[in-house]
Amino acid sequence: MATTTATLTLSSADLTGDALALSTTATLTKAGTVTGLNQTTGVARKTTASASQYILFDGDAYGNGSHKVYIKNTSTVATEYVTIEINSEQMGKLYAGDWCFFPWEANADTNDIKLQPSVGTAFTVEYALFYE
């Protein structure tokens, strides 16, 4: 059984007026079980030179399950962002250096994860999918 652990740590000396230090850890498991997720796309990078939307993960290809997605905008230009969309709903934008980690139940072709860079020049995202 595979064991994959995700850890998130948030800290700030001045965000709330007091020191902030939060940390949480989760073991990534298959839906409704204690069995670890055992498949991954691996960590990869995609570079585009177009501001056109593209499919990062096809919903038909992965089916139901407790999938986890990691996406990072590798740009160092503060104004460059990538918009994330699932099932025609905009989740949000990742600006330079931002990243996200979220659950995803693919289960239909309409649940594709689509990305759209803000620029039509070389733009790179780093990504990984952990799935059943």
Domains, the chain, ordered by start = 38-131 (2.60.120.10)
Name the pTM for this structure: 0.93
Average pLDDT score, the chain: 94
Q: How many CA atoms lie within 13 A of 29 on its CB side?
A: 8
Q: What is the pLDDT of residue 109?
A: 80
Residue 16 has pLDDT above 90, yes or no: no
The per-type count for the chain, helices as H runs and strands as E runs, is 0, 11
Vertex 85, ends 100 and 75: CA angle to 5°? 50
The pLDDT value recorded for residue 47 is 97
How buried is residue 71: exposed, middle or buried, by Cβ count under 10 Å (0-12/13-18/19+)?
A: buried
The yes-or-no verdict on residue 32 having pLDDT over 70 is yes
Instruction: Compute the average pLDDT of residues 65-82.
Output: 96
Residue 110 has pLDDT above 90, yes or no: no
